[in-house]
Amino acid sequence: MLECMQRLLEIMGLMKLKNKGTITLGDSASLNDPNVGMYTNATNAVTNPLINSGTITVGKNAVGVYGFKETNSGNINAGDGAVAMYSKRWKC
């Protein structure tokens, strides 16, 4: 059911964020104000999925991918105190 809803949203032109290349970010002063490689402010798992098949590299105290629904078939490299992937809790 969720896959059908995602496809409908894609047809309707809602955003799907894909990285097939390289994203490189430096260090952040703290995790309270991090650099973020891929981000969505979606309020549920159906809208704005994040898809990484490329490479994301973030420095210290940074976040590679932040959202509700993430798919990663690529590489995420995170520095000291950093988070590779962060997913919010969601409900269907």
Read off the pLDDT of residues 32-91 as tens digits, 9 standing for 90 and up.
999 999 998 777 666 678 899 999 999 999 999 998 878 899 999 999 999 999 987 655
Rounded CA-CA distance 37/55 in Å is: 10
Rounded CA-CA distance 68/47 in Å is: 9
Query: Quick one: tokens of 10?
Result: 């894609």
What is the structure's pLDDT at 59?
A: 97
Are residues 81 and 31 in contact, defined by beta-carbon separation less than 8 angstroms? yes
The pTM score is 0.78
Are residues 2 and 92 in contact, defined by beta-carbon separation less than 8 angstroms? yes
Question: Does position 92 have pLDDT exceeding 60, yes or no?
Answer: no
